[in-house]
A and B are shown apart, each in its own frame.
Chain A
């Protein structure tokens, strides 16, 4: 690696450490959300690149992870960080339930089954509102099981705010999960296993969202997010880790960008959704997936099989 190639990652690393110190809590929180999306997109790329299947329900798997965390913290008094592996297991199990019937068949039925999952989560949350808090959800901000409450987290001598703490936690986990995805994708694996791993990634992402918000309700991750993530993962296929990272930023910030365009109404989701869809169509048309899904283009470049 030449010195110039190393400069960009190094600069990004420095920015990743400095930004949460200089930025407001609101902006730091949004960067934490980018980290959660990045984890979910890694999971999608794992499945898309190796398994040639797409999930249209990663928002649903995220919601499952988030509910796991919220219920365990708010109802059973577990420490929030301890619930992350449980959330991964719950979402992974749901991924298995969806994958077993749909991946046996030739075709893209996994997309359909996961879409059904994403559509089904909000009504199920409403039905079991005693557990989930229904459409209003449950907030656990300031509870004693919340690691980051009241700036009580100390890391290398720094006292972190709640948001700075969740930012650091999210990106640390993202950094740990990236090599794991690389390891899983190194060689050919059963598609079902990829689907389970992919769903588990989304579960971790959802759990981190719940920890960051100290709250979860169905509106926190609407159905659009599932579709946005699939679109972002498609963009992510085209340029190693930077593609997945770019995809995560697009999911979080596209709305702000579109709002900057003159004569476009800044309020309402319409223009953003339109631009997202148009981008996805343009991307698939410009470079038909079949030609471009090559191992070299995956987020974990350089693997061998």
Chain B
């Protein structure tokens, strides 16, 4: 039983990272109606920036904060420079553009920082806490907690603030919103900035456990897409819940289903993606109620 709790906590930690990336995918999909294949690489780039800052002697939390701010600005600017010119164009073209960004950022990471994994000093304690006779990793608890907190903040931002209302208006009916004086262009760019910032949190949280290297988020992106599909790529709530659930489910499968052998996580996620596509995404969760 104690082992089970430890597996759940480990699953929640990686699930939190999937949840944040999935949230970013939902934000960009709702604003630009594209699958953003560069979401994972943007997170990795942010993680490298944070690592570089701490390597230059910064303390972890200031470096983390500056990285998230920089990522927001980067996402905002990225939208203006490369996404905006093709918005409303061929969907295949936009997807190929994000694939180009994936390759460019991945190559840039490897060029600047090398292809090998970096040693990342763990920001959280590696100690364990003992709850009900079981040893739980403090680091996993921190990771899951920070991911949950960030998801809640973004959720509240979308559901309760004027900015969130504007983002929803820009996403659901851009033409009408523009007539009503909503600055649609700036809001869509803000959504890209938010997605990059949320991704930055995911990247920084992931680097101690997943290993910081240019391909860190490659398969994780598939898990994030699976989680985001649970809500038809529209519902932030479903994406976050899906991310945590997927993390726990994959961890438990790994631990208790011998046949999985610890290697079959990507095929399981691939099968889930196909199943979700068959089951029609968007109809799984009521689309507009909580949706931002």
Asked if B108 contacts A274 (CB within 8 A), the reply is: yes
Given A281-B97, A284-B100, A116 and B91 contact (CB-CB distance below 8 Å): no
Within 8 A of B (CB), among A100-155: 101-102, 104-105, 107-109, 111-113, 115-117, 119-120, 123-124, 126-127
Q: Is the interface of A mostly helix, strand, loop or mixed?
A: helix
Asked if A123 contacts B37 (CB within 8 A), the reply is: no
- Closest B residue, CB atoms, query A111: B95
Contact with B along A80-111 (1 / 0, CB 8 A): 00000000000000000110011011011101
Given A112-B225, A116-B269, A107 and B109 contact (CB-CB distance below 8 Å): no
Contact with A along B124-142 (1 / 0, CB 8 A): 0000000000000000000
Given A123-B264, A231-B100, A285-B97, A270 and B89 contact (CB-CB distance below 8 Å): no
Task: For the complex, count residues of B whose C-beta is within 8 A of A.
Answer: 53
Asked if A56 contacts B99 (CB within 8 A), the reply is: yes
Asked if B96 contacts A289 (CB within 8 A), the reply is: yes
Contacts of A98 in B (CB 8 A): 274
Given A116-B269, A277-B102, A108 and B95 contact (CB-CB distance below 8 Å): yes
Contacts of B94 in A (CB 8 A): 284
Contacts of A28 in B (CB 8 A): none
Asked if B263 contacts A123 (CB within 8 A), the reply is: yes
Does B179 touch A at the CB level, under 8 Å? no
Chain-B contact segment, one of A8-16, A17-25, A46-54, A169-177: A46-54
Asked if B97 contacts A284 (CB within 8 A), the reply is: yes
Contacts of B102 in A (CB 8 A): 227, 277
Given A113-B274, A119-B219, A48 and B92 contact (CB-CB distance below 8 Å): yes
Contacts of B105 in A (CB 8 A): 277
Which of B91, B103, B114 is within 8 Å of A276, CB to CB? B103
Within 8 A of A (CB), among B25-43: 33-35, 37
Given A270-B214, A277-B107, A285 and B267 contact (CB-CB distance below 8 Å): no
Does B85 touch A at the CB level, under 8 Å? yes
Contacts of A224 in B (CB 8 A): 103
Does B1 touch A at the CB level, under 8 Å? no
Contacts of A270 in B (CB 8 A): 107-112, 114-115, 214
Asked if A227 contacts B263 (CB within 8 A), the reply is: no
Which of B34, B103, B270 is within 8 Å of A117, CB to CB? B270
Which of A126, A272, A280, A290 is within 8 Å of B89, CB to CB? A290
Does B90 touch A at the CB level, under 8 Å? yes
Task: For the complex, count residues of A whose C-beta is within 8 A of B.
Answer: 56
Does A6 touch B at the CB level, under 8 Å? no
Given A119-B222, A227-B103, A268 and B110 contact (CB-CB distance below 8 Å): yes
What is the CA–CA distance of A82 and B97 in the complex, to the nearest angstrom? 39
Does B278 touch A at the CB level, under 8 Å? yes
Given A115-B222, A116-B270, A276-B103, A288 and B89 contact (CB-CB distance below 8 Å): yes
Contacts of B89 in A (CB 8 A): 288-291
Does B82 touch A at the CB level, under 8 Å? yes
What is the CA–CA distance of A109 and B103 in the complex, to the nearest angstrom? 20
Asked if A290 contacts B93 (CB within 8 A), the reply is: yes
- Closest B residue, CB atoms, query A134: B263
Which of A53, A54, A105 is within 8 Å of B277, CB to CB? A105
Contacts of B85 in A (CB 8 A): 285, 288
- Closest A residue, CB atoms, query B106: A273
Asked if B86 contacts A234 (CB within 8 A), the reply is: no
- B253 CB, min distance to chain A CBs, angstroms: 13
- Closest B residue, CB atoms, query A274: B107
- B108 CB, min distance to chain A CBs, angstroms: 5
Does B273 touch A at the CB level, under 8 Å? yes
Asked if B99 contacts A280 (CB within 8 A), the reply is: yes
Asked if B111 contacts A271 (CB within 8 A), the reply is: yes
Does B288 touch A at the CB level, under 8 Å? no
Contacts of A117 in B (CB 8 A): 270
Asked if B90 contacts A119 (CB within 8 A), the reply is: no
The 5 listed contacts between A and B (C-beta, < 8 Å) are A52-B91, A108-B35, A231-B99, A277-B103, A288-B85
Residues of chain A touching chain B, judged by Cβ–Cβ distance below 8 Å, are 48, 52-54, 56, 97-98, 101-102, 104-105, 107-109, 111-113, 115-117, 119-120, 123-124, 126-127, 223-224, 227-228, 230-231, 234, 265, 268-281, 283-285, 288-291, 293
Given contacts A274-B107, A288-B93, A289-B92, 7 further A-B contacts (CB under 8 A): A56-B99, A107-B33, A231-B96, A274-B104, A275-B107, A279-B100, A284-B93
Residues of chain B touching chain A, judged by Cβ–Cβ distance below 8 Å, are 33-35, 37, 82, 85-86, 89-97, 99-112, 114-115, 214, 218-219, 221-222, 225, 261, 263-267, 269-270, 273-275, 277-278, 280-281
Task: Name the 7 nearest CB pairs between A and B, nearest first.
Answer: A274-B107, A277-B103, A277-B104, A273-B107, A270-B110, A280-B100, A289-B93
